[in-house]
Amino acid sequence: MLITEEKRSALHGKDLITTQDWNREELDQVLAVASELQRNRYDNRWSRSLLNRTFFMFFYNPSVRTRQSFECAATELSGHAQFLEPKAMRLKTANTAGETIEDAARVMSRYACGIGIRILEDQIGYYGAGDELLREYARWSEVPIVSMAHDKYHPCQGLADIMGIQNHMGDPKGKTLLLYWGHGALARSWCSVQEALLLYPRYGMNVVLAHPEGYDLDPAVVAASRQYAKENGASFQISHDPVECFADVDLVYARNWMSPQAYRNGELQKSEEIQKALAHSEWICDAAKLKRGNDPFFIHPMPVDRGHEVTDEIASGPKSLIIDVAECRLHVQKALLALTMGN
């Protein structure tokens, strides 16, 4: 895809809170530039896009790949990514006095070319609070707001998934994805799986969403995924069988996620969620189940809860895309920074 100056300017200054807020052409522009950057990582026309510019990374929750990939992305675009933690800042909360989101966003807009925010399950009191916070920052910010993963969505991971799938499977239209709940010792948010649920059917993939009873995702996201599948000539189905759902699938995305009852009295019931999930030991992606599919690839946003979500044999096997997709995070985020914040 040829990225013209007109197309670049259309994306400049645009927030990315979820891919659902972007049309297919805009998403394809990011993927096209990401592919160009992967082919020519250090010698390309985008390498000075962030020259003398700073991207703020606002981490309510820690990370491994997110911080590393965004810092590398800014550096390789001749810019700088600055790490920020709320606990080191005087921000207003429900229980403390401090700077409001309005004031913080407006001031940071005078310093940086963009602001990334990461806020996940244990830093909020109810589902949707993280999304509300990002959209409040977007309301007041004069520079782009980028979700680096929050309680509802993880757009950078979703785009990296699609890039990795395209690299290995070509056009995924008509292929079947199994989005599979895995039992685990972590109480994970819905962000990565819901981004996948929204994005994959927009690229024409059939979707099988499989989970035990009681682990439903956001009904609005499920309805949107079903509609995207219909609009793109794909199918959508839900299964509660941990084995039969593997039949004839081309790609397996295994991931633990918490139940809709995870929050109570304004707090995440983490220990309770973990114990409840560990009781479903039959929900694991393993070689025996994969034999029911079409020699499927395996994908996961990482970190992988090996031995619970998936066996080592599959996570480290020849059809695993987890490392390649992790690399794609860098290229996708470079493209995103260059197109939305670059000079």
Provide the pLDDT confidence category of residue 9 given band limits of 50, 70 and 90: confident
Q: For residue 102, what pLDDT band results from cuts at 50, 70 and 90?
A: very high
Report cis status (omega within 30 of 0) of the bond before 155.
no
- Does residue 2 carry a pLDDT above 70? no
> Is pLDDT of 29 > 60?
yes
Instruction: Give the neighbor-by-neighbor strand order of the sheet with 206-210.
Output: 236-239, 206-210, 176-181, 251-255, 297-299
Q: What is the pLDDT of residues 190-226, one digit of tens each?
A: 999 999 999 999 999 999 999 999 999 999 999 999 9
pLDDT band at 96; cut points 50, 70, 90: confident
Closest CA to 256 of 195, 304, 214, 198: 304
CATH of the domain at 139: 3.40.50.1370
- Kindly state the tokens that stand for 297: 């690839």
pLDDT at 133 > cutoff 60: yes
Whether residue 309 is found in the same domain as residue 332: no
**Stretch 239-261: mean pLDDT, rounded?**
98
Question: For 128, left (φ over 0), alpha (ψ -120 to 50), or beta?
Answer: left
User: Both 10 and 64 in a single domain?
Assistant: yes
Q: Are residues 204 and 272 in the same domain?
A: yes
Query: Is the pTM of the predicted complex or chain greater than 0.85?
Result: yes
Q: What is the pLDDT of residue 33?
A: 97
H/E stretch holding 124 reads none
Strands 263-264 and 267-268: antiparallel
Containing domain of residue 219, as a range?
160-323
> What does each C-alpha distance from 239 to 215, 236, 245, 276 come to in angstroms?
11, 10, 6, 19
Q: How confident is the model at residue 313 (pLDDT cuts 50, 70, 90)?
A: very high
Does one domain contain both 43 and 125? yes
Read off the pLDDT band of 93 (50, 70, 90).
confident
80 has pLDDT over 80: yes
Q: What are phi and psi of 54, to 5 degrees?
A: -120, 135
pLDDT of residue 314: 98
Give φ, ψ of 85 to 5 degrees: -125, 135
27 and 102 in a common domain: yes
pLDDT digits (tens, 9 = 90+) for 252-265: 999 999 999 999 99
All residues at 6 or more sequence positions from 56 whose CB lies less than 8 Å from its CB, including other chains: 81, 82, 84, 108, 111, 112, 114, 115, 116
- Cα dihedral sign for 9, 59, 156, 71? positive
Same-domain pairing of 138 and 219: no
Say if residue 276 is in the same domain as residue 214: yes
107 lies in the same domain as 225: no
pLDDT at residue 141, as a whole number:
98
Same domain, 318 and 273: yes
> Would you say residue 158 has pLDDT above 90?
yes
Burial bucket for residue 183 (CB in 10 Å: 0-12, 13-18, 19+): buried
Task: Tell me: do 177 and 287 sit in the same domain.
Answer: yes
Query: Does 179 share its domain with 112?
Result: no
pLDDT at 94 > cutoff 80:
no
The total domain count for the chain is: 2
Question: In terms of domains, do 183 and 319 share one?
Answer: yes
The pLDDT score that the predictor gives to residue 293 is 98
Radius of gyration from C-alpha coordinates of the chain? 20
**DSSP-assigned letters across all residues of 61-103:** S--SHHHHHHHHHHHHTT-EEEEE-GGGS-B--SSS--B-HHH
